[in-house]
Each structure stands twice: as C-alpha cells, then as structure tokens.
Amino acid sequence: MSAPSIQNRTNQIHSSAVISPRAFIGAGCRIGPYVVIGDEVFLGNGVTVDSHCVIDGRTRIGDEAHLFPFVSVGLPPQDLKFAGEQTETEIGSRTRGGITKIGDDCFIMAQAHVAHDCLIGNNVIMANAATLAGHVIVEDDANIGAYSGVHQFCRVGREAYIGGYSVVVKDALPFALTVGNHARCYGLNKVGVRRRGYSRETIAALHHAFHLLLSSKLNTAQAIERIQTEINESSEVDELVRFIETSKRGVVK
C-alpha cells in the first residue's frame, strides 16, 4: 500500500492514525491518536486534527484549521432524504470546532452548540443552530428547534418539544410544547405523544394534568395537589409532577 501524499516531514502524525494513501496532507499538520482520514480528504498546511476525529468523503479543510476530539466531518449529511448521492464538505482556513460526546442515537444538526457541563440524553434532536448554555440537562427524546437557546442550568424534560427560535430561561416541562421568546408552555405535545404510541388513557391523563397546570386559576402547588388527587396510575403524570417539584429555576408555564 502506498503512503498518503504527505508534503512535509515536519508533520506530526501519531502512529495509531489511519490515513488513506489517497489523502492529501499539507505541510506542518498535526494528527493525533486514532484519527481516521479517508480517500478524498485534502488537508491544507498547518491543520491540527485532535484524537479520535473522523474525516471522510470529498472534504477539503483549509490551512491552520483545528478540529477538536471526536469531530466527524464529511460523513453523510443531516438530511433524512439523503440517498447516497455525492456530497462535498469544505472548511475554511483557521476554522475551529468540536463536538461534545453525548447520549446514544442523537441527531445534532449543523451549527448546534452544546456548551460545557451539559448532560444530553438519548435520542435527542437538536436542529440547526440550537444552542445550549453551560450546565443544561436535556432528557431523552427531547427535540430542540432551530435557532433556539436554552439558558444556563435549565432542564429540558423528556420528550419536550422546543419550538424554533425559542428562548428558554426556565425548565421546559416534559411531554410539553414550549415556544416563544421568552418561551411559554402551550400544553401537551399531542402530535409527539401520538407518534410515540401512547395509549388514549395516558394522553387523556397528561392532557388533564396540563389543563390543571396551565388553564385553571390554580397556582402551581394547588395544581399539583389536584393532579395527585384526580389522576391515578399514570407514570408519565408522576414524572411530570416530579420534574416540577425538583426544579431549581422554576418551570416554563
């Protein structure tokens, strides 16, 4: 097997890196441990690729760019309609970026940002440019719309749906539709719970719980008391109540 096209002996390439012999590596590059670089990759001069990055596809990265650990570049695009057609990726010079390792089966789209100390569950969707500030917790199956922002130390509950361009400054309730700047809660995400196959009984229980929380003239403590009195044997409603009772910032209503 022939060696990749490496233009300068000043390159620092870790012995565990796997680089296609067809890749082009410019002068003065630094490539860390366990990096994988595919056939059609072009790295300009002085590019730094930290450990465990994967660069594949028809990808061109400009001079002095810096890819941080666990970045994936040039793989199939974030488009559910993608059918294997040819795609290209181009990253300009001196660009810096990275991705935080999060839960399983998440779909993190272009320009999304997960800041320090965030905890992201499984099956979370973050649309384009959705932004999490530091110390945010996002529970399983939540969906955060494009260009939305979540304030530091907030929680986004399980299966919550945050509408696009929303600004969330308190905890976003599980199973709920939360939209706006500043965000307001519009009750049960009916489309979401139906798509996930919840029973009619569960949907009715959640709908009644949200009615008591949002549409009655009760305060939150009174609403929780009524929920616990009127709704029995619903683990989802119990989860909703626990989420509210454990909130430190308050919840979006």
The catalytically annotated residue of 63, 117, 140, 238 is 117
Q: Tokens in use for 251?
A: 């919840």
Q: In which region does residue 165 sit, left (phi positive, over 0), alpha (psi from -120 to 50) or beta (all else)?
A: left
The catalytically annotated residue of 97, 116, 182, 250 is 116
Q: What is the DSSP letter of 4?
A: P
User: What pLDDT score was predicted for residue 4?
Assistant: 66
134 given a catalytic annotation: yes
The catalytically annotated residue of 97, 98, 134, 250 is 134
Residues 111 and 79 in one domain: no
User: What pLDDT score was predicted for residue 78?
Assistant: 67
Best CA proximity match to 136, nearest among 123, 149, 122, 125? 149
Residues 153 and 242 in one domain: yes
- CATH number of the domain within which 123 lies: 1.20.1180.10
User: What pLDDT score was predicted for residue 90?
Assistant: 84
User: What pLDDT score was predicted for residue 218?
Assistant: 92
One digit per residue, pLDDT tens: the chain, 253 residues?
Answer: 456 666 555 789 999 999 999 999 999 999 999 999 999 999 999 999 999 999 999 999 999 988 888 888 888 876 777 888 888 888 878 766 544 447 888 888 888 888 877 889 989 999 999 999 988 999 999 999 999 999 999 999 999 999 999 999 999 999 999 999 999 999 999 999 999 999 999 999 999 999 999 998 899 999 999 999 999 889 999 999 999 999 999 999 9
Residues 91 and 104 in one domain: no
End position of a domain, from candidates 36, 71, 97: 97
140 given a catalytic annotation: no
Q: What is the pTM of this model?
A: 0.69
250 given a catalytic annotation: no
Range of the domain at 175: 100-253
Measured CA to CA in angstroms, residue 151 lies from 54, 169, 242 at distances of 31, 5, 21
User: What pLDDT score was predicted for residue 208?
Assistant: 97
Q: Would the CA dihedral through 229, 230, 235, 241 be positive or negative? A: negative
User: What pLDDT score was predicted for residue 99?
Assistant: 46
CB 107 within 8 A of CB 122: no
Report the domain count for the chain. Answer: 2
End position of a domain, from candidates 97, 126, 147: 97
End position of a domain, from candidates 97, 122, 153: 97
CB 187 within 8 A of CB 177: yes
Residues 147 and 196 in one domain: yes
